[in-house]
């Protein structure tokens, strides 16, 4: 395989689907993975609508929470294509709710996909990238990896973990020419926030958190409606892949950089007041 190979997880929708199409257009051979191949129709349709050939990509079933399956897919790609130049760890979901009412199993499930799945994928590709002294690993993180939003603690916790892991990984891989990058989107029209609140289940009117959850659900829906075009994130991903020396973190989204500046320098009590107004 003379073309660069990119392996992307979670490609049935959202950033995964869009990045698959964009990178196919840019000449990559795309290995698009998703947990349920029954949802592959949307990706294939998007490829056809873009005037691209399905022969220049492949779609594989992969549940990133199954470590053996992760290793099998990576080994298969390396055996057939000889290389994986780029890994985009995109698979993930958001679980909403207030901490007291979220089960430990729900926390573990969130981490299995959002964090441990990315760790497993990364570990599987590292030997080949290290030996070739070349490669890029992109983690689709979130602004939630910088700030703990109320009502989304499983998700924010998993993204904080991903951020720390990626920073350590970047230092470890730098001597081997492998770049590690965090993409940190704000609110985009991908439905992840609204789905996250829904995943927490129907709001129990008897819950002491019912008023706050109702507000959070409305806020999540509004943010999704007002969210930016997700293609902005795809443009950023393309730019990062073209950069021979990418930095670690790329926050992206409306008003995100000023917000991060304020969060860095504002006293915590003022941040608390800002958040309280949303609840």
pLDDT one-digit tens code per residue, 66-124: 999 999 999 999 999 999 999 999 999 999 889 999 999 999 999 999 999 999 999 99
Distances (CA, A) of 172 to 130, 143, 159, 166: 10, 24, 20, 10
Tokens of 192: 């992840």
Tokens of 46: 């998007």
Cα 256 from Cα 6, distance rounded (Å): 28
The domain over range 5-276 is classified in CATH as 3.40.50.720: yes
Alpha helices (runs of H) in the chain, residue ranges in sequence order: 14-25, 41-49, 67-81, 104-111, 117-132, 153-173, 192-199, 210-226, 231-242, 256-265, 268-276
Confidence of residue 227 (pLDDT cuts 50, 70, 90): low
* Set 29, 155, 160, 188: catalytic member: 155
The 8-class DSSP code of residue 13 comes to S
Cα 81 from Cα 256, distance rounded (Å): 39
For the segment 124-161, what is each residue's pLDDT rounded down to a tens digit? 999 999 999 999 999 999 988 988 888 889 999 999 99
Helix (H, G, I), strand (E, B) or coil at 15: helix
- Displacement of CA 151 from its chain's centroid (Å): 19
C-beta atoms surrounding 128 within 10 Å: 18
pTM given for the model: 0.91
State yes or no: is 250 an active-site residue: no
* Rg over CA atoms, the chain: 19
């Amino acid at each position: 395989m003379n073309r660069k190979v990119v392996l992307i997880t979670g490609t049935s929708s959202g950033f995964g689907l869009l990045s698959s199409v964009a990178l196919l257009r840019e000449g990559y051979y795309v290995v698009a993975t998703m947990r349920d191949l029954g949802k592959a129709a949307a990706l294939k349709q998007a490829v056809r609508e873009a005037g691209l050939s399905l022969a220049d990509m492949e779609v594989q079933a992969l549940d990133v929470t199954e470590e053996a399956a992760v290793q099998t897919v990576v080994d298969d790609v390396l055996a057939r294509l000889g290389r994986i130049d780029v890994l985009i760890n995109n698979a993930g979901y958001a679980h909403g709710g207030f901490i007291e009412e979220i089960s430990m199993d729900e926390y573990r499930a969130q981490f299995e996909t959002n964090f441990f799945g990315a760790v497993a994928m990364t570990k599987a590709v590292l030997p080949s990238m290290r030996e070739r002294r070349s490669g890029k690993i992109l983690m689709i993180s979130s602004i939630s990896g910088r700030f703990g939003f109320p009502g989304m603690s499983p998700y924010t916790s998993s993204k904080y973990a991903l951020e720390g892991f990626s920073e350590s990984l970047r230092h470890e891989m730098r001597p081997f020419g492998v770049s590690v990058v965090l993409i940190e989107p704000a609110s985009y029209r991908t439905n992840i926030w609204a789905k996250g609140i829904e995943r927490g289940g129907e709001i129990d009117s008897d819950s002491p958190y019912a008023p706050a959850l109702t507000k959070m659900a409305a806020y999540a829906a509004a943010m999704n409606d007002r969210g930016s075009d997700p293609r902005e994130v795809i443009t950023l991903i393309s730019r990062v892949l073209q950069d021979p020396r990418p930095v670690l973190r790329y926050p992206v989204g409306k008003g995100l950089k000023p917000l991060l500046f304020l969060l860095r320098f504002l006293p915590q009590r003022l941040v608390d007041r800002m958040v309280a107004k949303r609840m």
